[in-house]
Amino acid sequence: MPIIRVELLKGRTIEQKREFADVVTREAARILRCSPEVVDIVFHEVERHDWSSNGRLYSDK
């Protein structure tokens, strides 16, 4: 069973997550030759002050 973990900054809408989950599930099932029913996606939302890129917190950008 493929488990796809997605880490992203907070702020995406439920509609965006729903569409992402639908498209990624279909493509993962196609590429991995498995049933879409066994593909799980876990969204982990991170606060802007808990994520840094290039030495700077996203909350400071």
Would you give the DSSP letter of residue 17? H
Q: So what's the pLDDT on residue 1?
A: 87
| pLDDT means over runs of 10, the chain (61 residues) | 96 98 98 98 98 96 88
Q: Which residues pair with 37 in a beta bridge?
A: none
Tell me which residue range forms the domain holding 31.
3-60
Instruction: Catalytic residue, from 1, 2, 23, 25: name it.
Output: 2
- Give the DSSP H/E element, type plus range, for residue 5: strand 3-9
The total number of structural domains in the chain stands at 1
Note the pTM of the prediction, 2 decimals: 0.87
* Residue closest to 5 by CA, chosen among 47, 53, 45: 45
Q: So what's the pLDDT on residue 51?
A: 97
36 annotated active-site = no
Distances (CA, A) of 11 to 28, 30, 39: 25, 29, 24
Q: Indicate which CATH number applies to the domain containing 38.
A: 3.30.429.10
